[in-house]
Amino acid sequence: MLDDRKLAVLRAIVEDYVSTNEPVGSKALADRHNLGVSPATIRNDMAVLEEQGYIAQPHTSAGRVPTDKGYRLFVDRLSTIKPLSVAERRAIETFLSGAYDLDDVVGRTVRLLAQLTRQVAVVQYPSLTRSAVRHVELVPVAEGRLLLVLITNTGRVEQRVIETGQISEESIGHLRALLNTCLDGLGLGEVPAAVADLPDRVGPDERPVAAAVLSALLETLVEKHEEKIVFAGAANLAAVDFSPSLREVLVALEEQVVLMRLLGETGDSSTVTVRIGTENPDLGLKSTSVVAADYGVGDLTLARLGVLGPTRMDYPSTMGAVRAVARYVGQILAGS
Nearest to 72 by CA among 271, 291, 283, 259: 291
Strands of 128-218 (E only): list them.
Answer: 133-142, 145-152, 157-163
CA 103, chain centre distance (Å): 14
CB 167 within 8 A of CB 147: no
Burial class (CB in 10 A: 0-12, 13-18, 19+), 136: buried
Report CA dihedral (204, 205, 211, 217) to the nearest 10 degrees.
Answer: -130
3-class state of residue 159 by DSSP: strand
CA 156, chain centre distance (Å): 17
Cα–Cα dist 71/194, whole Å: 51
Strands of the chain (E only): list them.
Answer: 55-56, 65-66, 120-124, 133-142, 145-152, 157-163, 229-232, 272-276, 288-297, 300-310
Q: What is the pLDDT along the chain (336 residues), one digit of tens a residue?
A: 788 999 999 999 999 999 998 999 999 999 999 888 998 999 999 999 999 999 999 877 678 999 999 999 999 988 778 888 899 899 999 998 888 778 888 999 999 999 999 999 999 988 767 778 889 999 988 888 899 998 888 777 888 899 887 888 888 899 999 999 999 888 888 888 888 888 888 888 888 888 888 888 888 776 545 568 888 888 888 766 665 577 778 777 777 777 777 787 656 666 899 999 989 888 778 888 999 999 988 778 888 999 999 999 999 999 999 999 999 998 888 775
Q: How many C-beta atoms surround the C-beta of residue 97 within 10 A?
A: 13
3-class state of residue 265 by DSSP: coil
Strands 300-310 and 120-124: antiparallel
CB 333 within 8 A of CB 302: yes
> Angle of helix 102-117 relative to helix 86-97, nearest 10 degrees?
150
Q: How many C-beta atoms surround the C-beta of residue 4 within 10 A?
A: 7
3-class state of residue 244 by DSSP: coil
3-class state of residue 134 by DSSP: strand
Q: How many residues appear in the chain?
A: 336
3-class state of residue 1 by DSSP: coil
Nearest to 130 by CA among 160, 155, 159: 155
pTM beyond 0.85? no
Nearest to 220 by CA among 179, 254, 181, 261: 179
